């Protein structure tokens, strides 16, 4: 008997699993709020140089006339953002002066600061700390540091969870997210803000990795795809939630605080969570595994079945897995054997390109030329049909087909933007983002099913690392557009297509029980895994 069959004996997808998955899913609503938060907290308002005191004091001039005599105009006849006239250009008040003449005159940088249009965003880190003009790269650096924190968190928490358990690391991650997110809202300066955001990013990885593993390891094989998709929908709904909260709270400090405080509640109720019984057995803690299984049986109304379990019965049913478990595993196990090595290489491509292309689109909302709250809701809305279609193909066609198709379609949609008119580019971008959302929906489940229990968290940690590398590199690639306008789209589009081809070399896991050991994965080699004694 395998662990999957043991799980069926204590209720399968019973009351315990429903409550457990629900409590794991609730924090996911707030995950998008942190991941996409800088679209709002670091939004760049319209701005121009502070006007000279002499001009500001001229009450007889209208606001537009003060700009004409103080600030040069750009090619769109909008005030330049980073330059002002050295001397007041009174001749620009001449009614006969052309618009082009209003750009004439010697200029200087904004030595006295900037004036920001606060009609949409009352306060952002950009307007508070003047991250514009020569300091504009600091805004990008803040987001990159957050993503670097997510990367480091994947490495650190992935390995620690395989050693110390999923539950304890998840509890810690909730607390770290709550504390560091709250501290970010009270940052005294930009440097402190970056440090707190880095630590928040680490907590994000800890929550995602352990939430996925606990969901997968406590639910039966037949329901894993549905559970994974419902969790993905929670993230999608979270994008709508973020748009609404950000619209209602235009000040970045209050917005940051609002999306962080709920994690204190998640921290408190997470102490109820049960540790993964799969991990406990393979970690040599069979006595605790028996206790957890009995608890699950009791909650599921299968107390009589639960009373029959003891350590001897558990060990006899899982003797094959226990006999092949090493005392410890490391990241080397991800490339030590042929099949696991192939899985790791292909998944690295898939995770990198999915995140790379996704954040190339999702972290550039302000440049779509559409209301930022509306475009976030459109980007969220496309996830519903995309994930619905993906869960159907995941459940009935297979994981491998879904993964490869979603990536290739995303790449083609992004490449199409090189050739289509400007009016259609948002449409193709939204379609591409939907395909990438479907890819994310599949790869979280697929990765958990491909790696065996003994190195599942380590494997998810590696995958998360590759995803974060993609999200860190995405803004750098966008800068290449200053030299060759279509180059970013070419790179963003080519990466998913190449990864879609790589996904075709992964084993299929549809309707197969989770592998417990590396030896079981190596036995796959084109035929179903058989862990039943």
Contact 82, 107 (CB under 8 A): no
Do 104 and 248 belong together in one domain? Answer: no
What integer pLDDT is reported at residue 199 of this predicted model? 94
Count of helices and strands (H, E) across the chain: 26, 4
Burial annotation 378-396 (CB, 10 A radius, 16+ → b, else e): bbbebbeebbebbbebbbe
| Residue 92 located in a structural domain | yes
Do 240 and 329 belong together in one domain? Answer: yes
Do 183 and 228 belong together in one domain? Answer: yes
Q: What is the dihedral of CA 200, 173, 246, 370, to 10 degrees?
A: 70
Do 380 and 303 belong together in one domain? Answer: yes
Do 251 and 108 belong together in one domain? Answer: no
| Residue 528 located in a structural domain | no
| Residue 129 located in a structural domain | no
What integer pLDDT is reported at residue 487 of this predicted model? 87
What integer pLDDT is reported at residue 4 of this predicted model? 67
| Residue 529 located in a structural domain | no
What integer pLDDT is reported at residue 190 of this predicted model? 92
What integer pLDDT is reported at residue 531 of this predicted model? 37
What integer pLDDT is reported at residue 530 of this predicted model? 41
Do 408 and 322 belong together in one domain? Answer: yes
Query: Does this model's pTM top 0.85?
Result: no
Q: Which two structure tokens, joined as six digits, stand for 51?
A: 């006007």
What integer pLDDT is reported at residue 349 of this predicted model? 93
3-state per-residue secondary structure call for 156-221 = HHHHHHHHHCHHHHHHHHHHHHHHHHHHHHCCCCHHHHHHHHHHHHHHHHHHHHHHHHHHHHHCCH
What integer pLDDT is reported at residue 326 of this predicted model? 52
| Residue 123 located in a structural domain | no
What integer pLDDT is reported at residue 533 of this predicted model? 34
Domain coverage including residue 62: 47-116
Do 179 and 290 belong together in one domain? Answer: yes
Do 192 and 79 belong together in one domain? Answer: no
> Given the structure tokens 């991941």, which residue do they identify?
35
Do 54 and 36 belong together in one domain? Answer: no
What integer pLDDT is reported at residue 410 of this predicted model? 93
Q: Give the CATH number of the domain where residue 359 resides.
A: 1.20.1250.20
**Residues of the chain under the 50 pLDDT cut:** 526-533
| Residue 318 located in a structural domain | yes
What integer pLDDT is reported at residue 344 of this predicted model? 92
Q: How many domains does the chain have?
A: 2
Do 89 and 227 belong together in one domain? Answer: no
Rounded CA gap, 186 and 126, in Å?
A: 16
Do 108 and 177 belong together in one domain? Answer: no
Rounded CA gap, 432 and 94, in Å?
A: 50
| Residue 130 located in a structural domain | no
Domain boundary among 70, 88, 116: 116
Do 407 and 360 belong together in one domain? Answer: yes
């Amino acid at each position: 008997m395998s662990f999957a069959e043991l799980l069926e004996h204590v209720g399968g997808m019973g009351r315990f699993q429903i409550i457990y998955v629900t409590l794991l899913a609730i924090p996911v609503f707030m995950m998008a709020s942190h991941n996409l938060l800088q679209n709002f907290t670091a939004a760049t308002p319209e701005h121009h140089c502070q006007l000279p005191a002499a001009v500001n004091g001229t009450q007889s001039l209208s606001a537009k006339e003060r700009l004409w005599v103080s600030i040069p105009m750009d090619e769109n006849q909008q005030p330049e953002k980073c330059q002002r006239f050295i001397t007041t250009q009174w001749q620009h008040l001449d009614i006969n002066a052309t618009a082009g003449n209003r750009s004439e005159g010697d200029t200087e940088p904004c030595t006295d600061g900037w004036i920001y249009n606060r009609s949409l965003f009352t306060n952002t880190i950009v307007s508070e700390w003047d991250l514009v003009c020569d300091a504009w790269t600091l805004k990008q650096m803040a987001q990159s540091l957050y993503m670097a924190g997510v990367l480091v968190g994947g490495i650190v928490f992935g390995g620690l969870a395989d050693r110390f358990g999923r539950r304890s690391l998840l509890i810690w991650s909730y607390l770290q997210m709550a504390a560091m997110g709250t501290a970010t809202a009270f940052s005294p300066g930009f440097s402190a803000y970056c440090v707190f955001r880095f630590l928040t990013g680490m907590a994000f990885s800890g929550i995602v990795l352990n939430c996925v593993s606990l969901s997968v390891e406590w639910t039966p094989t037949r329901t894993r795809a549905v559970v994974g998709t419902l969790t993905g929908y929670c993230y999608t709904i979270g994008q709508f939630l973020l748009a609404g909260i950000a619209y209602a709270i235009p000040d970045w400090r209050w917005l940051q605080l609002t999306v962080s405080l709920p994690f204190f509640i998640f921290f408190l109720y997470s102490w109820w969570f049960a540790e993964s019984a799969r991990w406990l057995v393979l970690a040599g803690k069979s006595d605790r595994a028996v206790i957890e299984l009995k608890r699950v049986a009791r909650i599921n109304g299968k107390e009589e079945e639960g009373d029959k379990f003891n350590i001897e019965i558990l060990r006899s049913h899982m003797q094959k897995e226990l006999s092949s478990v090493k005392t410890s595993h490391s990241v080397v196990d991800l490339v030590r054997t042929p099949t696991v090595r192939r899985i790791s290489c292909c998944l690295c491509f898939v995770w990198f390109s999915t995140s790379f292309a996704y954040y190339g689109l999702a972290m550039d909302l302000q440049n779509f030329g559409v209301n930022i709250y509306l475009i976030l809701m459109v980007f969220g809305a496309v996830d519903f049909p995309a994930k619905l279609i993906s869960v159907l193909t995941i459940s009935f066609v297979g994981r491998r087909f879904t993964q490869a198709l979603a990536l290739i379609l995303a790449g083609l949609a992004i490449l199409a933007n090189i050739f289509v008119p400007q009016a259609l580019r948002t449409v193709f971008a939204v379609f591409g983002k939907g395909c990438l959302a479907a890819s994310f929906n599949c790869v979280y489940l697929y990765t958990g099913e491909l790696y065996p229990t003994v190195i599942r968290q380590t494997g998810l940690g590696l995958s998360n690392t590759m995803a974060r590398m993609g999200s860190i590199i995405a803004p750098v690639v966008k800068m290449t557009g200053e030299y060759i306008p279509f180059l970013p789209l070419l790179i963003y589009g080519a990466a998913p297509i190449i990864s879609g081809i790589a996904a075709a070399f992964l084993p299929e896991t549809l309707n197969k029980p989770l592998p417990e050991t590396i030896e079981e994965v190596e036995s796959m080699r084109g035929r179903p895994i058989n862990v039943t004694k």
